């Protein structure tokens, strides 16, 4: 990624559209003048890409696919599916993003009367097996997969293998997870975010400065369920939860 960012700077492109905060971060390391638009990504304040959402101030703006309520919403959906579970875990990377998100989820956990525990792993080469051993030891009954680096395709297959091995109900951040065999996902509608990113390109080409364009949060969210996976782990999805799903895999 850094090499690709350097190449774009050498080509003197007018704008760089980044598909994640990681891509935006690598682009920002090699240019402070070319506008960088995040099509989706983590909290730009926590990751140091912007001074504030309302006024980013630098050369990075665009969209974040995270909101403070997102982790709490995933917890609520998971709790509806496994009402008897009282101990939940968030599996995420050791980053500046994970802890603020987890803090926001704690309020939802208290409201639901459940315990929410953060299980962090370092990347690259995360000790996922060790993380699942900790969850087994702590008697975690259901899992929320983080939206950071672990949410990428790099670790998806191994995480799903470990979830299947432990037969742990889990919810994930994006649709590809349930396509690959995950139980549920809830997150920002990524195609909608990319369409909205085009508005930023348009404004900047017409003379706006990225530092003056507020970072936008998601407006559309998607919820999906894989009924085949639910059946494999002996889980019945309540009809009222099923009715709210945008995508159901049978």
Q: Which residues pair with 90 in a beta bridge?
A: 118, 144
Compute how many other C-beta atoms are within 10 angstroms of the C-beta atom of residue 118.
18
Residue 217: how many other CB atoms lie within 10 Å: 17
pLDDT value at 97 more than 80 = no
Domain covering 70-187+222-249, topology: Rossmann fold (3.40.50)
How far is residue 76 from each of residues 110, 112, 213, measured CA to CA in Å?
Answer: 11, 8, 33
In the predicted model, is pLDDT for residue 163 greater than 70?
yes
Of 26-30, 50-54, 100-104, 111-115, which range is least confident? 100-104
| Backbone angles phi and psi of 103, in degrees to 5 | -60, -40
Interstrand relation of 184-188 and 221-226 (parallel, antiparallel or unpaired): antiparallel
**% of the chain exceeding 90 in pLDDT:** 77
Tell which wins on pLDDT, 93 or 142. 142
Token representation of residue 36: 């960088």
Residue-averaged pLDDT of the chain: 92
Q: What is the pLDDT of residues 192-244, one digit of tens each?
A: 999 999 999 999 999 999 999 999 999 899 999 999 999 999 999 999 999 99
Is the pLDDT at 118 greater than 70, yes or no?
Answer: yes
What number is the average pLDDT over the span 45-60? Answer: 91
pLDDT at 67: 77
**What band does 95 get if pLDDT is binned at 50, 70 and 90?**
low
CATH entry 3.40.630.30 includes domain 2-66+189-220: no
Predicted confidence at residue 45, as pLDDT, reads: 84
Q: Give residue 102's pLDDT.
A: 82
Name the segment(s) of the chain with CATH classification 3.40.50.2300: 2-66+189-220, 70-187+222-249
pTM reported for the whole predicted model:
0.87
């Amino acid at each position: 990624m850094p090499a690709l960012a350097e190449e774009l700077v050498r080509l003197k492109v007018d704008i760089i559209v980044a598909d994640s905060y990681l891509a935006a971060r690598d682009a920002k390391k090699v240019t402070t003048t070319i506008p960088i638009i995040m099509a989706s990504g983590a909290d730009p304040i926590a990751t140091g890409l912007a001074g504030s959402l309302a006024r980013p101030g630098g050369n990075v703006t665009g969209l974040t696919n995270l909101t403070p309520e997102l982790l709490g919403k995933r917890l609520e959906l998971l709790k509806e599916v496994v009402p008897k579970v009282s101990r939940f875990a968030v599996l995420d990377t050791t980053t500046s993003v994970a802890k603020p998100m987890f803090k926001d989820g704690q309020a939802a956990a208290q409201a639901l009367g459940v315990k929410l525990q953060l299980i962090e792993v370092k990347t690259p080469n995360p000790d996922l097996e060790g993380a699942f051993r900790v969850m087994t030891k702590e008697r975690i009954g259901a899992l929320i997969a983080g939206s950071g680096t672990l949410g990428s395709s790099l670790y998806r297959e191994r995480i799903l293998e470990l979830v299947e091995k432990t037969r742990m109900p889990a919810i994930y951040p994006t649709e590809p997870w349930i396509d690959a065999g995950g139980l549920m996902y809830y997150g920002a509608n990524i195609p909608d975010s990319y369409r909205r990113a085009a508005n930023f390109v348009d404004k900047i080409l017409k003379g706006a400065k990225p530092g003056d364009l507020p970072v936008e949060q998601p407006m559309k969210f998607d919820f999906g369920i894989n009924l085949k996976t639910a059946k494999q782990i002996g889980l019945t999805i309540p009809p009222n939860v099923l009715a709210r799903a945008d995508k159901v895999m049978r």
